[in-house]
Structure formats: C-alpha cells, structure tokens
Structure 1
Amino acid sequence: MWILGLTGSIGMGKSATAGLFGAEGVPVHDADAAVHDLYAREAVPLVEAAFPGVARDGMIDRPELSRRVLGDAAAMKRLEAIVHPLVRARETAFLARARASG
C-alpha cells in the first residue's frame, strides 16, 4: 500500500488535490476534518479543561479558541499536546482500515 501525504500552506490546493484522489476512489484521511470532528466530540472536555470557557453547546467554539491561542506560543503548545495525539489516533485507525480493505 502506498501512503501519500499532502502538505502546504493555506490555499495551496491540498483539499482540492485530496478531492481529486477521493473522486478516483483513493481513501483519503483529512486531518483538518478530523480536528473539526474532535472539536464536536471527544476533544471537548480536554480542550475545555485547558481553556475554560471555549466549549459552547457541547462543542468547541473555534473562534474563541483561536482568540485564546493565536499569538500565544505556550497556549498553542498546550492545545497541540491535546489535539495532535487524538488526530494521530484517527490517522492510525484510518490506515488500519485502508490496509484491511486492500
């Protein structure tokens, strides 16, 4: 099985390229989508504990969280320490499913 990673800055076409692969039937793991889903599910209590007041209606208020972490390197590191392992776990599960399906 081949594994291809798409990286780049904002607006570089990663999502468009991933969409082309997906349209051809290639399994695609979208880390950005995983974060959005995590912010509505299992990351909520963890992020709220680290940044009280960022959870609203059972999900992370992304603009409020951004306000708290952008420009604050220590806060960003705390957030990344919470979110990155969760995203990695989802990626690992995605790869296991892709390998199992051939």
Structure 2
Amino acid sequence: MIRVALTGSVGMGKSTTADFFRDEGVPVWDADAAVHRLYAPGGAGVAAVAALVPEAVRDGAVDRDRLRAAVLGDATLLGRLEAAIHPLVAADRAAFLDDCARRGEPIALCDIPLLFETGGERDFDVVIVVTAGPELQRERVLARPGMDEESLARMLARQMPDHEKQARADHVIRTDRGLDAARDEVRRILAQLRGMAEDA
C-alpha cells in the first residue's frame, strides 16, 4: 500500500484537495478531524487536556475556545499540550493505515497540516504539497470566522515557509488556478500512484 501525505500551509486549499482524492475513491485520514474526535466526550485527549488545563474541559469535552485562550496566555503550554496530544493523534493515524492495509487498499492518504514541522514525512512514501498565492491564502484565512491578521501571523510563524514545503514535496498541487485544474492535477497524480501500486 502506498502511504501518501497531503500537506500545505493554512488557507492553501488542502481540505478541498483532500475531498478531491476522496471523490476518486481514496481513503482519507484528516488530522484535524482526529483531534476533534480526541477532544469530544469520551475522547482519549480529554483527560490529557484536563491534566494541563482543567478549565478547558466542560461537560466531558474540550472547549476549544477556552483551550485557545489558555495557550495564548501561557507561552509554554502549547509545547506541553502537543507532547500530550501528538502521540494520540499518531496512534489514530496508525490505526487508520493498518485498517486500510487490511482491507487491501492500494493507496491511503493522510491530510496533515504540520507534516514537515513535526518530521512526519518520514512515515510516508509520497508527499503532496497544496499551495496558492499569498494574497489568495490571506483572503481565504481572513474569511474564516474568528480569524484576524494577528491570528494569521501566529499561525504562519509556526509553519515552514511555503517555498520550502514545495521544494521537499514529490508533487505540488496549485489551488489558485481554479477547482477544475486542481481536480485534474489530483487525477494525474492518482494515475501515477495507481501505476506505482500495481508495480509494487
């Protein structure tokens, strides 16, 4: 089975691109969705967050707004939180990949925003980076509820520059040339990957 990582900076169109792969029949794991599951009632991440930020847990689930406020108020908290949550996310991803392999899937894709920043690319056979021009990126991010210039700057400061991600990728998909062009690129890459899977 070919393990594919899809990554890209905030606002580049990664989720839309992941949906294009899903539409083509590729099983997709989403890191953000995994965190939501971990933070939901009964999720494995609730106890980990409660141990670090008790006030961020309400009604058996993590209140993401309270957690975000706590992180903004404590420069050391984010690192400690990541140390507690990242292993749980990695276990969720490993379970997904194991399940795909058991089912005989030729390709499995994982949508991971901070792939290079966490050294996660080593766990994959192919890395695809999604990109767009900086003005469109900014426009997309600032259109999201609760986002402002300061929040965008903080997010970008935590992420590897886009040009470095592109240089380290096996494939690059641009989402600023229209959805049809991006979908065509997904299909082109997928044809290559399916050929690789058949040869393996």
Normalised by the length of structure 1, the TM-score is: 0.94
The amino acid across from 1:100 in the alignment is R
SS of structure 2 residue aligned to 1:53? helix
Describe how 1:82-97 pairs up with structure 2 within 5 A: 82-97=84-99
Describe how 1:1-102 pairs up with structure 2 within 5 A: 1-40=1-40, 41-70=43-72, 72-102=74-104
Cα deviation, 1:1-47, whole Å, max 9, x if unaligned, reads 11111111111111111111111110101000000110011111110
Residue 79 (structure 1) shift? 0.6
Looking at both structures, which has the greater relative contact order when contacts are Cα pairs under 8 Å and sequence separation is at least 6? 2
1:70 to 1:9, Cα distance in 2 relative to 1, 3 A: farther
Stretches of structure 2 that go unaligned for 5 or more consecutive residues are 105-200
Question: Structure 2 CA distance, aligned partners of 1:80 and 1:42?
Answer: 14
Of residues 88-97 and 41-50 in structure 1, the stretch that sits farther from structure 2 once superposed is 41-50
The amino acid across from 1:22 in the alignment is R
Would you say how many aligned residue pairs link Structure 1 and Structure 2? 102
Cα deviation, 1:48-79, whole Å, max 9, x if unaligned, reads 11112100111100011011113644100111
Question: Structure 2 CA distance, aligned partners of 1:19 and 1:71?
Answer: 35
Question: Structure 1 CA distance, aligned partners of 2:100 and 2:75?
Answer: 35
1:71 to 1:24, Cα distance in 2 relative to 1, 3 A: farther
SS of structure 1 residue aligned to 2:70? helix
Question: Structure 2 CA distance, aligned partners of 1:73 and 1:7?
Answer: 26
Question: Structure 1 CA distance, aligned partners of 2:58 and 2:35?
Answer: 16
Stretches of structure 1 that go unaligned for 5 or more consecutive residues are none
| C-alpha RMSD of the superposition | 1.1
